[in-house]
Amino acid sequence: MDNSSSIINIERRKTRKVMVGNIPVGGDSPIAVQTMTKTKTADVKGTVEQIKRCQELGADIIRVTVNEQEAADAIGEIVKSVDIPIVSDIHFNHVFALKAIEAGVAKVRINPGNIGSKDRIKQVLTAAKERGIPIRIGVNSGSLEKDLLEKHRFPTAEALFESAMRHVEIAADFGFDNIIISVKSTSVPLMIAAYRMLSQRTDFPLHLGVTEAGAIKVGTIKSAVGIGTLLAEGIGDTIRVSLTAQPEDEVEVGKAILRSLGLTQSGIEIISCPTCGRLDVDLFKISRELDEALKGIKKNVKIALLGCVVNGPGEAREADIGIAAGKGVAMLYKKGETYKKIKEEDIVSEIYNEVMMM
């Protein structure tokens, strides 16, 4: 069954293309999903293991903090131990930025105006340019420059834009324009307004995110609304969901946001009904067990779990694999066609087997 005729394609804003390792960001490239490790960087083994778990779940780029000497000493070994682009997260310390570049990171997150003298800025930008490494200028509403706060009185979209362009201009003074920009805020309306402004006035690739979005439930909602709104308007080239949770959760939420807008076809998509009094199977248990069974499987399959015969048969037919459940049983559909009746206790295993055969 082909549902492609019902898909509305989002027209994406045209931006410059920047290479982060082997991952293109911007232009007509797929939207890259990022996350950031939560381990101490000096813990090389733990950090590498976390990076590999995120990569397995579909992360394209991983950011690692380099905030102290031990982290700077460890970043080279981390880069050598993985095959995914690593971004070094640097604040203020130009020496750590130079060490990270020398270690082979694929990108540096640093604001040129925050690292001191012109000589320090020149050292970092020259090193990045020689290696072909882009820089992400990351502006945050919680750390705007004092003069911009005095000018605008509080964080505004214009203040975030001005801060970002200030750092862009500093880089331009040294002949550097291999740049990605982010203008994040904990306020969803503010970050949306700031990114819209950037998208109208520049062609740099944009890294989307709601900063410090919160714990997994609230943070997922805020990220989906903020990032999703912009993506639906064609704005954004790479995304990072920021949760008070494990980075694996951030990757899964990021991938789900892209899937919900038809911006990626990678991974399993499970659709399930909200349930009501008509439900005669334990759809909560079925959904939970199926999600766990299929975690990490890299197949492009849409699955529908419907709990009754009202909307169930029609919606199940629209998925690659679907069930419409009755009392202790379910009708299994494949590619829009009725396939067979199965027992409730066999639903998870039957769907799993069908996925693995596709």
pLDDT in tens, 283-295: 999 999 998 999 8
Helix locations, 204-346, DSSP H: 216-232, 247-260, 283-294, 312-317
pTM: 0.90
CATH code for position 281: 3.30.413.10
> Do 304 and 155 have their domain in common?
no
DSSP letter (8 states) at residue 99: H
The CA distance from 66 to 55, in Å, is: 20
In a domain, 4, yes or no: no
Distance CA 65, CA 82 (A): 16
DSSP β-ladder status, 23-25 and 18-20: antiparallel
Task: Calculate the alpha carbon distances from 237 to 46, 106, 131, 182, 283 in Å.
Answer: 29, 17, 22, 10, 36
Looking at the structure, tell me whether residues 236 and 342 fall in a common domain: no
| Helix 44-56, helix 247-260: angle, nearest 10 | 20
Q: How many structural domains are present in the chain?
A: 2
**Do residues 46 and 174 both lie within one domain?**
yes
Domain that holds residue 278: 268-357
Q: Is residue 150 part of a domain?
A: yes
Length of the chain: 358
pLDDT of residue 2: 43
Please report whether residue 24 resides in a domain. Answer: yes
Is 2 inside any structural domain?
Answer: no
Last residue of a domain, one of 199, 227, 260: 260
Phi-psi region of 29 (alpha: psi -120 to 50; beta: other; left: phi over 0): beta
Is residue 233 situated within a structural domain? Answer: yes
Among 209, 239, 260, which residue terminates a domain? 260
Confidence bin at 265 (pLDDT 50/70/90): low
pLDDT category, 231, cuts 50, 70, 90? Answer: very high
Whole-number pLDDT of residue 5: 37
| pLDDT tens digits, one per residue of 67-97 | 999 999 999 999 999 999 999 999 999 999 9
pLDDT band at 275 (very low <50, low <70, confident <90, very high): confident
Give me the half-sphere count of Cα atoms (radius 13 Å) on the Cβ side of residue 79.
22
Q: Tell whether 192 and 322 lie within a shared domain.
A: no
| pLDDT beyond 90 at 45 | yes
> What's the confidence (pLDDT) of residue 7?
52
Q: Are residues 243 and 147 in the same domain?
A: yes
pLDDT (average), residues 235-248: 97
299-to-211, 266, 320, 353, 357 alpha-carbon distances in Å: 31, 7, 12, 13, 10
**In a shared domain, residues 167 and 40:** yes
Neighbours of 22 (CB within 10 A): 10
Residue 1 has pLDDT above 50, yes or no: no
Residues 314, 203 share a domain: no
pLDDT at 64: 98
Q: Percent of the chain scored above 90 by pLDDT?
A: 79
Which pLDDT does position 8 carry in this prediction? 66
pLDDT at 332 over 90: yes
